[in-house]
Structure 1
Amino acid sequence: MPIIPEGLVRSLQKGEKYVVSENPIIIVEKVEDIPDLVNPVFMEGLPGIGYVGYTTTSYIVKSLNPNEFLKLYMSILPAQVNIRKNGLAELISYTFYYYKGKNRDFVFMLGDAQPANPQDQYLATLLILEILKELGVKEIITVGGYGKGAQPEKPKVYGAATDLEFAEIFSKYGVIFSNTEPEGGIIGITGLLIGLGKLMGFRGVCLMGETSGMFRDPKAAREIIKILSEHYTLDIDMSNLENMIKEFEKFLSVVSEISSAEEKKMRPEKKFSEEFRYIR
Protein backbone atom coordinates (compact mmCIF):
# COMPACT_ATOMS: atom_id res chain seq x y z
CA MET A 1 0.00 0.00 0.00
CA PRO A 2 1.52 3.38 -1.04
CA ILE A 3 2.28 5.90 1.72
CA ILE A 4 0.74 8.65 -0.41
CA PRO A 5 -2.43 8.17 -2.49
CA GLU A 6 -1.64 7.29 -6.11
CA GLY A 7 -1.49 10.35 -8.35
CA LEU A 8 -1.62 12.77 -5.40
CA VAL A 9 1.31 14.99 -6.37
CA ARG A 10 0.05 15.85 -9.84
CA SER A 11 -3.60 16.12 -8.75
CA LEU A 12 -2.95 18.76 -6.07
CA GLN A 13 -3.75 22.33 -7.03
CA LYS A 14 -0.99 24.94 -6.78
CA GLY A 15 -0.35 25.85 -3.15
CA GLU A 16 -2.81 23.22 -1.88
CA LYS A 17 -1.80 21.35 1.27
CA TYR A 18 -2.74 17.75 1.85
CA VAL A 19 -2.34 15.88 5.13
CA VAL A 20 -1.35 12.39 4.04
CA SER A 21 -1.33 10.91 7.52
CA GLU A 22 -1.73 11.99 11.11
CA ASN A 23 0.64 9.55 12.82
CA PRO A 24 3.22 10.64 11.85
CA ILE A 25 1.98 13.93 10.43
CA ILE A 26 2.89 14.23 6.75
CA ILE A 27 1.92 17.32 4.75
CA VAL A 28 2.52 17.58 1.00
CA GLU A 29 2.37 21.11 -0.42
CA LYS A 30 2.31 21.64 -4.15
CA VAL A 31 4.02 24.93 -5.01
CA GLU A 32 3.79 24.76 -8.79
CA ASP A 33 2.27 22.57 -11.48
CA ILE A 34 4.65 19.92 -12.81
CA PRO A 35 5.06 19.41 -16.56
CA ASP A 36 5.68 16.00 -18.07
CA LEU A 37 9.30 15.10 -17.39
CA VAL A 38 11.53 13.32 -19.90
CA ASN A 39 13.45 10.37 -18.41
CA PRO A 40 14.11 12.33 -15.19
CA VAL A 41 17.13 11.79 -12.93
CA PHE A 42 16.82 12.41 -9.18
CA MET A 43 19.56 14.04 -7.06
CA GLU A 44 19.31 14.68 -3.32
CA GLY A 45 21.19 16.88 -0.89
CA LEU A 46 20.88 16.29 2.86
CA PRO A 47 23.02 17.26 5.86
CA GLY A 48 25.75 14.72 6.61
CA ILE A 49 29.52 14.26 6.92
CA GLY A 50 31.30 17.47 5.92
CA TYR A 51 27.96 18.75 4.58
CA VAL A 52 29.20 17.40 1.24
CA GLY A 53 25.81 16.15 0.04
CA TYR A 54 23.92 19.32 0.84
CA THR A 55 26.70 21.58 -0.47
CA THR A 56 26.89 19.65 -3.76
CA THR A 57 23.19 19.60 -4.59
CA SER A 58 22.39 23.08 -3.26
CA TYR A 59 25.17 24.51 -5.43
CA ILE A 60 23.79 22.74 -8.51
CA VAL A 61 20.30 24.02 -7.67
CA LYS A 62 21.53 27.62 -7.29
CA SER A 63 23.47 27.37 -10.54
CA LEU A 64 20.69 25.85 -12.67
CA ASN A 65 17.84 27.79 -11.00
CA PRO A 66 15.26 24.96 -11.33
CA ASN A 67 11.55 25.35 -10.54
CA GLU A 68 10.42 24.60 -7.00
CA PHE A 69 7.28 22.48 -7.21
CA LEU A 70 6.78 20.57 -3.95
CA LYS A 71 7.44 20.84 -0.22
CA LEU A 72 7.24 17.93 2.17
CA TYR A 73 6.69 18.47 5.91
CA MET A 74 6.98 15.55 8.35
CA SER A 75 6.65 15.30 12.13
CA ILE A 76 9.53 12.79 12.10
CA LEU A 77 11.87 15.73 11.38
CA PRO A 78 13.04 18.03 14.20
CA ALA A 79 10.20 20.17 15.59
CA GLN A 80 11.61 23.56 14.70
CA VAL A 81 11.66 26.38 12.19
CA ASN A 82 14.73 27.77 10.46
CA ILE A 83 15.40 31.52 10.40
CA ARG A 84 15.80 32.61 6.79
CA LYS A 85 16.64 35.92 5.10
CA ASN A 86 15.23 39.04 6.81
CA GLY A 87 14.36 37.02 9.90
CA LEU A 88 11.58 35.00 8.26
CA ALA A 89 10.70 31.69 9.92
CA GLU A 90 10.29 28.58 7.79
CA LEU A 91 9.25 25.12 8.94
CA ILE A 92 11.86 22.41 8.37
CA SER A 93 11.01 20.60 5.15
CA TYR A 94 12.20 18.70 2.09
CA THR A 95 11.94 20.86 -1.04
CA PHE A 96 11.65 19.39 -4.54
CA TYR A 97 12.63 21.11 -7.80
CA TYR A 98 12.41 20.16 -11.47
CA TYR A 99 14.76 21.22 -14.26
CA LYS A 100 14.20 20.76 -18.00
CA GLY A 101 17.53 19.63 -19.43
CA LYS A 102 18.76 19.38 -23.01
CA ASN A 103 18.37 15.62 -23.39
CA ARG A 104 16.61 14.62 -20.17
CA ASP A 105 15.09 16.25 -17.11
CA PHE A 106 16.06 16.38 -13.44
CA VAL A 107 14.39 16.34 -10.05
CA PHE A 108 16.35 17.76 -7.12
CA MET A 109 15.57 17.51 -3.42
CA LEU A 110 17.11 19.59 -0.63
CA GLY A 111 16.43 18.81 3.02
CA ASP A 112 17.17 20.67 6.24
CA ALA A 113 17.62 17.58 8.43
CA GLN A 114 17.23 13.81 8.64
CA PRO A 115 14.98 11.83 11.00
CA ALA A 116 16.78 10.68 14.13
CA ASN A 117 15.91 6.97 14.23
CA PRO A 118 16.05 4.16 11.62
CA GLN A 119 12.28 3.54 11.49
CA ASP A 120 11.59 7.19 10.64
CA GLN A 121 14.43 7.23 8.11
CA TYR A 122 12.79 4.25 6.38
CA LEU A 123 9.42 6.02 6.40
CA ALA A 124 10.82 9.24 4.92
CA THR A 125 12.73 7.28 2.26
CA LEU A 126 9.66 5.30 1.20
CA LEU A 127 7.65 8.53 0.95
CA ILE A 128 10.32 10.13 -1.25
CA LEU A 129 10.44 7.02 -3.47
CA GLU A 130 6.65 7.07 -3.88
CA ILE A 131 6.86 10.68 -5.07
CA LEU A 132 9.69 9.84 -7.48
CA LYS A 133 7.75 6.88 -8.84
CA GLU A 134 4.80 9.15 -9.62
CA LEU A 135 7.11 11.58 -11.43
CA GLY A 136 8.55 8.83 -13.63
CA VAL A 137 12.03 8.83 -12.07
CA LYS A 138 14.01 5.62 -12.58
CA GLU A 139 17.54 6.83 -11.83
CA ILE A 140 18.70 8.06 -8.40
CA ILE A 141 21.90 9.91 -7.49
CA THR A 142 22.63 10.39 -3.80
CA VAL A 143 25.56 12.40 -2.50
CA GLY A 144 27.49 12.38 0.76
CA GLY A 145 30.85 12.73 2.44
CA TYR A 146 33.35 10.03 3.33
CA GLY A 147 35.10 11.12 6.54
CA LYS A 148 38.79 10.17 6.57
CA GLY A 149 39.91 12.25 9.57
CA ALA A 150 42.62 14.19 7.72
CA GLN A 151 41.83 16.86 5.14
CA PRO A 152 42.87 15.62 1.65
CA GLU A 153 44.58 18.02 -0.76
CA LYS A 154 42.63 16.59 -3.72
CA PRO A 155 39.60 14.66 -2.49
CA LYS A 156 38.84 11.32 -4.11
CA VAL A 157 35.26 10.30 -4.88
CA TYR A 158 34.02 6.89 -3.75
CA GLY A 159 30.88 5.21 -5.01
CA ALA A 160 28.33 2.50 -4.28
CA ALA A 161 25.90 1.46 -7.03
CA THR A 162 22.85 -0.74 -7.40
CA ASP A 163 24.40 -2.67 -10.29
CA LEU A 164 27.79 -3.32 -11.90
CA GLU A 165 26.90 -1.60 -15.17
CA PHE A 166 26.11 1.66 -13.36
CA ALA A 167 29.32 1.34 -11.33
CA GLU A 168 31.33 0.90 -14.54
CA ILE A 169 29.77 4.04 -16.03
CA PHE A 170 30.89 6.21 -13.11
CA SER A 171 34.25 4.46 -12.83
CA LYS A 172 35.15 6.14 -16.12
CA TYR A 173 35.05 9.48 -14.30
CA GLY A 174 37.46 8.31 -11.61
CA VAL A 175 34.90 7.21 -9.02
CA ILE A 176 36.36 4.46 -6.81
CA PHE A 177 34.15 1.43 -6.17
CA SER A 178 35.77 -0.57 -3.36
CA ASN A 179 34.88 -3.71 -1.41
CA THR A 180 36.10 -2.14 1.83
CA GLU A 181 35.40 1.60 1.60
CA PRO A 182 33.57 3.45 2.95
CA GLU A 183 33.97 1.51 6.19
CA GLY A 184 30.66 0.96 7.99
CA GLY A 185 28.55 1.50 4.88
CA ILE A 186 26.26 4.44 4.09
CA ILE A 187 23.85 5.46 6.81
CA GLY A 188 20.64 7.49 6.74
CA ILE A 189 18.37 8.44 3.86
CA THR A 190 21.34 8.87 1.51
CA GLY A 191 22.01 5.12 1.75
CA LEU A 192 18.39 4.00 2.02
CA LEU A 193 17.39 5.74 -1.21
CA ILE A 194 19.84 3.43 -2.99
CA GLY A 195 19.00 0.29 -0.97
CA LEU A 196 15.21 0.59 -0.86
CA GLY A 197 15.23 2.14 -4.32
CA LYS A 198 16.84 -1.01 -5.72
CA LEU A 199 14.06 -3.13 -4.18
CA MET A 200 11.46 -0.86 -5.81
CA GLY A 201 13.06 -1.03 -9.27
CA PHE A 202 15.14 2.16 -9.23
CA ARG A 203 18.71 2.30 -10.47
CA GLY A 204 21.10 4.35 -8.39
CA VAL A 205 24.53 5.34 -7.23
CA CYS A 206 25.82 7.12 -4.14
CA LEU A 207 28.81 9.41 -4.71
CA MET A 208 30.90 10.21 -1.63
CA GLY A 209 33.53 12.92 -1.54
CA GLU A 210 36.59 12.33 0.63
CA THR A 211 36.69 14.83 3.51
CA SER A 212 38.01 15.32 7.03
CA GLY A 213 34.41 15.45 8.20
CA MET A 214 35.18 18.26 10.64
CA PHE A 215 34.15 21.23 8.47
CA ARG A 216 31.74 22.05 5.66
CA ASP A 217 33.83 20.94 2.69
CA PRO A 218 33.38 22.66 -0.72
CA LYS A 219 36.46 20.89 -2.16
CA ALA A 220 34.81 17.47 -1.88
CA ALA A 221 31.62 18.94 -3.36
CA ARG A 222 33.57 20.32 -6.33
CA GLU A 223 34.92 16.89 -7.27
CA ILE A 224 31.41 15.40 -7.30
CA ILE A 225 29.93 18.32 -9.26
CA LYS A 226 32.63 17.87 -11.92
CA ILE A 227 31.60 14.23 -12.37
CA LEU A 228 27.85 14.95 -12.47
CA SER A 229 28.17 17.92 -14.83
CA GLU A 230 30.30 15.89 -17.25
CA HIS A 231 28.14 12.77 -17.18
CA TYR A 232 24.82 14.61 -17.51
CA THR A 233 26.15 17.54 -19.60
CA LEU A 234 25.05 20.15 -17.09
CA ASP A 235 26.29 23.70 -17.62
CA ILE A 236 27.34 24.69 -14.10
CA ASP A 237 29.30 27.87 -13.36
CA MET A 238 32.01 26.87 -10.87
CA SER A 239 33.33 30.39 -10.13
CA ASN A 240 31.39 30.89 -6.89
CA LEU A 241 32.42 27.44 -5.71
CA GLU A 242 36.07 28.24 -6.44
CA ASN A 243 35.73 31.36 -4.27
CA MET A 244 34.24 29.23 -1.50
CA ILE A 245 37.22 26.88 -1.78
CA LYS A 246 39.71 29.78 -1.50
CA GLU A 247 37.99 30.94 1.70
CA PHE A 248 37.93 27.34 2.96
CA GLU A 249 41.68 26.96 2.37
CA LYS A 250 42.35 30.23 4.23
CA PHE A 251 40.27 28.91 7.10
CA LEU A 252 42.20 25.61 7.12
CA SER A 253 45.48 27.53 7.14
CA VAL A 254 44.39 29.51 10.22
CA VAL A 255 43.22 26.33 11.95
CA SER A 256 46.57 24.68 11.18
CA GLU A 257 48.51 27.64 12.62
CA ILE A 258 46.43 27.65 15.81
CA SER A 259 46.81 23.88 16.14
CA SER A 260 50.60 24.10 15.70
CA ALA A 261 50.85 26.88 18.28
CA GLU A 262 48.77 24.91 20.79
CA GLU A 263 50.86 21.79 20.15
CA LYS A 264 54.04 23.77 20.76
CA LYS A 265 52.68 25.03 24.09
CA MET A 266 51.95 21.47 25.16
CA ARG A 267 55.51 20.26 24.55
CA PRO A 268 57.55 19.86 27.78
CA GLU A 269 60.32 22.43 28.20
CA LYS A 270 63.86 21.12 27.93
CA LYS A 271 65.79 20.95 31.16
CA PHE A 272 68.76 23.28 31.67
CA SER A 273 71.20 20.39 31.47
CA GLU A 274 69.82 19.28 28.08
CA GLU A 275 70.23 22.71 26.52
CA PHE A 276 73.69 23.44 27.91
CA ARG A 277 75.77 20.28 27.73
CA TYR A 278 79.07 22.17 28.07
CA ILE A 279 80.35 25.60 29.08
CA ARG A 280 81.84 27.78 26.36
Structure 2
Amino acid sequence: MENSKPVKIVLPEIKNPIFIEGYPGIGLVGHIAGNFLAKELNMDMIGYVESPFLPPVTLVLEGKPNPPLRFYGKDNIIVAVADIYVPPTLVNEIARELARYLKEMNAQTVVSLGGMGIGLFKEKMEVWGVGAREELNRKLEEAGVKVLQYGSIMGMSGKLLWEASREGLDAYVLLGETFGDRPDPRAAANVIEALKKIVPIEASTEPLLKEAEMIEEQLRRMHQQMEEARKKAQQQYETLYL
Protein backbone atom coordinates (compact mmCIF):
# COMPACT_ATOMS: atom_id res chain seq x y z
CA MET A 1 0.00 0.00 0.00
CA GLU A 2 1.24 3.51 -0.84
CA ASN A 3 0.48 4.83 2.62
CA SER A 4 2.66 2.13 4.25
CA LYS A 5 5.87 3.44 2.65
CA PRO A 6 8.44 4.45 5.28
CA VAL A 7 9.48 7.48 3.20
CA LYS A 8 7.59 10.01 1.12
CA ILE A 9 9.38 12.45 -1.17
CA VAL A 10 7.36 15.65 -1.40
CA LEU A 11 8.49 17.45 -4.56
CA PRO A 12 6.70 19.15 -7.46
CA GLU A 13 7.14 17.87 -11.00
CA ILE A 14 10.36 19.35 -12.38
CA LYS A 15 11.20 18.00 -15.81
CA ASN A 16 14.83 17.26 -16.75
CA PRO A 17 16.20 18.35 -13.38
CA ILE A 18 19.81 18.67 -12.28
CA PHE A 19 19.86 17.13 -8.82
CA ILE A 20 22.58 17.97 -6.26
CA GLU A 21 22.75 16.15 -2.92
CA GLY A 22 24.57 17.64 0.07
CA TYR A 23 23.91 15.57 3.19
CA PRO A 24 26.21 15.69 6.27
CA GLY A 25 29.37 13.57 6.21
CA ILE A 26 33.14 13.81 6.68
CA GLY A 27 34.18 17.41 7.29
CA LEU A 28 30.54 18.41 6.66
CA VAL A 29 31.73 19.05 3.09
CA GLY A 30 28.47 18.09 1.35
CA HIS A 31 26.37 19.83 3.98
CA ILE A 32 28.32 23.09 3.65
CA ALA A 33 28.35 22.92 -0.16
CA GLY A 34 24.64 22.14 -0.46
CA ASN A 35 23.50 24.91 1.87
CA PHE A 36 25.92 27.36 0.24
CA LEU A 37 24.58 26.58 -3.25
CA ALA A 38 20.97 26.98 -2.10
CA LYS A 39 21.80 30.43 -0.72
CA GLU A 40 24.18 31.54 -3.48
CA LEU A 41 21.70 30.57 -6.24
CA ASN A 42 18.81 32.29 -4.40
CA MET A 43 16.79 29.11 -4.21
CA ASP A 44 13.44 28.62 -2.49
CA MET A 45 12.44 25.59 -0.45
CA ILE A 46 10.30 23.47 -2.78
CA GLY A 47 9.94 20.16 -0.93
CA TYR A 48 10.90 17.87 1.90
CA VAL A 49 11.22 14.28 3.05
CA GLU A 50 8.40 12.89 5.17
CA SER A 51 8.79 9.81 7.36
CA PRO A 52 7.52 8.58 10.73
CA PHE A 53 11.07 7.34 11.38
CA LEU A 54 12.66 10.80 11.30
CA PRO A 55 13.41 12.45 14.65
CA PRO A 56 10.68 14.84 15.83
CA VAL A 57 12.63 17.98 14.94
CA THR A 58 11.68 21.28 13.34
CA LEU A 59 14.39 23.72 12.33
CA VAL A 60 13.79 27.44 12.68
CA LEU A 61 15.47 29.33 9.85
CA GLU A 62 15.06 33.09 9.50
CA GLY A 63 12.17 32.95 11.94
CA LYS A 64 10.27 30.24 10.05
CA PRO A 65 9.74 26.53 10.77
CA ASN A 66 11.45 24.14 8.35
CA PRO A 67 11.71 20.35 8.02
CA PRO A 68 15.18 18.90 8.70
CA LEU A 69 15.39 17.14 5.31
CA ARG A 70 14.39 19.51 2.54
CA PHE A 71 14.82 20.43 -1.09
CA TYR A 72 15.65 23.80 -2.57
CA GLY A 73 14.99 24.64 -6.19
CA LYS A 74 15.33 27.21 -8.92
CA ASP A 75 14.48 26.64 -12.59
CA ASN A 76 15.39 22.95 -13.10
CA ILE A 77 18.05 22.71 -10.36
CA ILE A 78 17.23 20.86 -7.12
CA VAL A 79 19.50 20.83 -4.08
CA ALA A 80 18.88 18.33 -1.26
CA VAL A 81 20.12 19.21 2.23
CA ALA A 82 19.81 17.62 5.66
CA ASP A 83 20.42 19.19 9.06
CA ILE A 84 20.23 15.98 11.08
CA TYR A 85 21.94 12.60 11.07
CA VAL A 86 19.89 10.19 8.94
CA PRO A 87 19.90 6.52 10.08
CA PRO A 88 21.30 4.07 7.47
CA THR A 89 18.02 2.21 6.97
CA LEU A 90 16.28 5.50 6.23
CA VAL A 91 19.09 6.53 3.86
CA ASN A 92 18.37 3.40 1.83
CA GLU A 93 14.69 4.25 1.52
CA ILE A 94 15.25 7.94 0.73
CA ALA A 95 17.82 7.14 -1.96
CA ARG A 96 15.50 4.60 -3.57
CA GLU A 97 12.55 7.00 -3.64
CA LEU A 98 14.72 9.84 -4.95
CA ALA A 99 16.05 7.66 -7.76
CA ARG A 100 12.49 6.73 -8.75
CA TYR A 101 11.43 10.38 -8.79
CA LEU A 102 14.50 11.43 -10.79
CA LYS A 103 13.95 8.64 -13.32
CA GLU A 104 10.32 9.69 -13.73
CA MET A 105 11.38 13.32 -14.22
CA ASN A 106 14.07 12.28 -16.72
CA ALA A 107 16.88 13.87 -14.70
CA GLN A 108 19.80 15.26 -16.68
CA THR A 109 22.41 14.77 -13.96
CA VAL A 110 22.58 13.55 -10.36
CA VAL A 111 25.57 14.69 -8.29
CA SER A 112 26.35 13.90 -4.65
CA LEU A 113 28.83 16.11 -2.81
CA GLY A 114 30.90 14.94 0.13
CA GLY A 115 34.28 14.72 1.81
CA MET A 116 37.16 12.25 1.82
CA GLY A 117 39.07 12.23 5.09
CA ILE A 118 42.83 11.91 4.53
CA GLY A 119 44.07 12.86 8.02
CA LEU A 120 46.64 15.36 6.82
CA PHE A 121 46.97 18.76 5.19
CA LYS A 122 48.41 19.20 1.71
CA GLU A 123 49.22 22.32 -0.24
CA LYS A 124 46.71 21.25 -2.87
CA MET A 125 43.72 19.30 -1.65
CA GLU A 126 42.28 17.22 -4.51
CA VAL A 127 38.75 16.33 -5.51
CA TRP A 128 38.01 12.66 -6.14
CA GLY A 129 34.97 11.27 -7.86
CA VAL A 130 33.28 8.37 -9.57
CA GLY A 131 30.52 8.17 -12.15
CA ALA A 132 27.83 5.61 -12.79
CA ARG A 133 29.51 4.56 -16.07
CA GLU A 134 32.94 4.60 -17.68
CA GLU A 135 32.12 7.50 -20.01
CA LEU A 136 31.12 9.57 -16.98
CA ASN A 137 34.46 8.80 -15.36
CA ARG A 138 36.16 10.16 -18.46
CA LYS A 139 34.11 13.34 -18.07
CA LEU A 140 35.35 13.61 -14.48
CA GLU A 141 38.95 13.25 -15.62
CA GLU A 142 38.42 16.02 -18.18
CA ALA A 143 37.15 18.21 -15.32
CA GLY A 144 40.37 17.63 -13.36
CA VAL A 145 38.78 15.21 -10.89
CA LYS A 146 40.79 12.14 -9.79
CA VAL A 147 38.72 9.02 -10.47
CA LEU A 148 38.31 6.67 -7.52
CA GLN A 149 39.20 3.14 -8.64
CA TYR A 150 38.75 1.28 -5.36
CA GLY A 151 37.14 2.08 -2.04
CA SER A 152 33.75 2.61 -0.45
CA ILE A 153 31.40 5.57 -0.33
CA MET A 154 29.23 5.67 2.76
CA GLY A 155 25.90 7.33 3.45
CA MET A 156 23.54 9.05 1.07
CA SER A 157 26.23 9.80 -1.51
CA GLY A 158 27.12 6.15 -1.99
CA LYS A 159 23.57 4.84 -1.88
CA LEU A 160 22.18 7.48 -4.25
CA LEU A 161 24.98 6.77 -6.73
CA TRP A 162 24.02 3.11 -6.76
CA GLU A 163 20.25 3.66 -6.96
CA ALA A 164 20.59 6.32 -9.69
CA SER A 165 22.93 4.09 -11.70
CA ARG A 166 20.39 1.26 -11.47
CA GLU A 167 17.85 3.61 -13.05
CA GLY A 168 20.27 4.42 -15.89
CA LEU A 169 20.79 8.03 -14.79
CA ASP A 170 23.96 10.09 -15.27
CA ALA A 171 25.13 10.06 -11.65
CA TYR A 172 28.34 11.17 -9.97
CA VAL A 173 29.88 11.49 -6.52
CA LEU A 174 32.40 14.29 -5.87
CA LEU A 175 34.54 14.01 -2.73
CA GLY A 176 36.78 16.84 -1.55
CA GLU A 177 39.90 15.86 0.36
CA THR A 178 39.71 17.09 3.94
CA PHE A 179 41.58 16.51 7.18
CA GLY A 180 38.28 15.20 8.51
CA ASP A 181 38.15 16.49 12.08
CA ARG A 182 36.34 19.81 11.55
CA PRO A 183 33.93 21.58 9.18
CA ASP A 184 35.87 22.32 5.99
CA PRO A 185 34.52 25.14 3.79
CA ARG A 186 37.67 25.01 1.62
CA ALA A 187 36.93 21.40 0.66
CA ALA A 188 33.31 22.45 -0.01
CA ALA A 189 34.61 25.20 -2.33
CA ASN A 190 36.79 22.64 -4.12
CA VAL A 191 33.88 20.28 -4.83
CA ILE A 192 31.71 23.18 -6.03
CA GLU A 193 34.45 24.24 -8.46
CA ALA A 194 34.53 20.65 -9.78
CA LEU A 195 30.73 20.58 -9.93
CA LYS A 196 30.72 23.73 -12.10
CA LYS A 197 32.68 21.84 -14.75
CA ILE A 198 30.06 19.10 -14.89
CA VAL A 199 26.75 20.95 -14.65
CA PRO A 200 25.80 24.44 -15.91
CA ILE A 201 25.70 26.44 -12.69
CA GLU A 202 27.33 29.75 -11.79
CA ALA A 203 28.30 30.24 -8.16
CA SER A 204 31.28 32.13 -6.76
CA THR A 205 33.10 30.19 -4.04
CA GLU A 206 34.88 33.31 -2.74
CA PRO A 207 32.72 33.52 0.44
CA LEU A 208 33.59 29.91 1.29
CA LEU A 209 37.30 30.56 0.79
CA LYS A 210 37.12 33.61 3.08
CA GLU A 211 35.36 31.50 5.71
CA ALA A 212 38.06 28.84 5.32
CA GLU A 213 40.79 31.44 5.84
CA MET A 214 39.10 32.62 9.05
CA ILE A 215 38.86 29.07 10.41
CA GLU A 216 42.46 28.30 9.43
CA GLU A 217 43.67 31.49 11.12
CA GLN A 218 41.77 30.60 14.29
CA LEU A 219 43.31 27.11 14.25
CA ARG A 220 46.78 28.59 13.65
CA ARG A 221 46.38 30.90 16.64
CA MET A 222 45.05 28.09 18.81
CA HIS A 223 47.97 25.83 17.88
CA GLN A 224 50.40 28.69 18.53
CA GLN A 225 48.91 29.30 21.98
CA MET A 226 49.08 25.58 22.77
CA GLU A 227 52.71 25.44 21.67
CA GLU A 228 53.60 28.49 23.77
CA ALA A 229 51.84 26.96 26.78
CA ARG A 230 53.71 23.68 26.22
CA LYS A 231 57.09 25.45 26.06
CA LYS A 232 56.29 27.46 29.20
CA ALA A 233 55.29 24.30 31.06
CA GLN A 234 58.49 22.59 29.89
CA GLN A 235 60.62 25.51 31.10
CA GLN A 236 58.89 25.48 34.50
CA TYR A 237 59.46 21.73 34.76
CA GLU A 238 63.16 22.05 33.90
CA THR A 239 63.60 24.94 36.38
CA LEU A 240 61.91 22.94 39.11
CA TYR A 241 64.19 19.91 38.73
CA LEU A 242 67.52 21.65 38.00
SS at match of 1:71: strand
- Shift, 1:175, TM fit: 0.9
Q: Which residue of 1 aligns with 2:142?
A: 172
Aligned counterpart in structure 2 of residue 99 of structure 1, from 74, 85, 88: 74
- Deviation string, structure 1 residues 162-217 (Cα, Å, up to 9, x no partner): 1111111111222111334xx5x111111000012212222211100011111111
Taking a change above 3 Å as real, the CA distance of residues 125 and 232 of structure 1, as seen in their structure-2 partners, is: closer
Once the two structures are superposed, the pairs formed by residues 264-279 of structure 1 within 5 Å of their partners are 264=231, 269-270=237-238
Q: Is the 1:77–1:114 Cα contact (8 Å) retained in structure 2?
A: no
Matched, 1:224 2:196: no
Once residues 240 and 67 of structure 2 are traced to their aligned partners in structure 1, the CA distance between those partners, rounded to angstroms, is 64
| Other-structure match for 2:96 | 126
Q: 2:109 aligns with which of 139, 149, 156?
A: 139
Q: 3-state DSSP class of the match of 2:175?
A: strand
Is 1:90 the counterpart of 2:62? The answer is no
TM-score w.r.t. structure 2 length?
0.85
Q: Does 1:52 align with 2:29?
A: yes
Match for residue 203 of structure 2 among 218, 233, 236:
236
CA–CA distance in structure 1, aligned partners of residues 175 and 159 of structure 2: 14
Match of 2:119 among 149, 153, 161: 149
Gap change, CA 1:138 and 1:267, over 3 Å in 2: farther
1:92 Cα deviation (Å)?
Answer: 2.1
- Using the aligned pairs only, state the percent identity: 23
Equivalent residue number for residue 254 of structure 1: 221
Pick the structure with greater CA Rg: 1
The corresponding residue for 1:189 is 156
**Where do 5+ consecutive residues of structure 1 fail to align?**
4-19, 276-280
Structure with higher RCO (Cα < 8 A, 6+ apart): 2
Distance 1:76 1:254, change over 3 A: farther
Quote the offset at 1:141 in angstroms.
0.6
1:262–1:160 Cα change, 3 Å = farther
Per-residue CA deviation, residues 54-108 of structure 1 (Å, 9 max, x unaligned), is: 111221221112343222222333332224334x543422x223333xxxx4222
> What residue number does 2:176 align with?
209
Normalising by structure 1, we get a TM-score of 0.75
Measured against aligned partners, the alpha-carbon deviations of 1:248-278 in whole angstroms (never above 9, x if no partner) come to 22222123224434654776955899x8xxx
| In 1, Cα distance between equivalents of 2:182 and 2:9 | 33
Q: Is the alpha carbon distance of 1:244 and 1:272 closer, same or farther for their aligned partners in structure 2, counting shifts above 3 Å?
A: closer
Contact 1:145 1:208 in 2 (8 A): yes
Structure (1/2) with the larger helix percentage:
2
Residue aligning to 1:113: 84
Query: What letter is aligned with 2:66?
Result: E
Q: Which runs of 5+ in 2 are unaligned?
A: none
Q: Deviations over 1:23-47 (max 9, x none)?
A: 63x45545xx65x53x432111111
Work out the CA distance in 2 between the residues paired with 1:266 and 1:131: 61
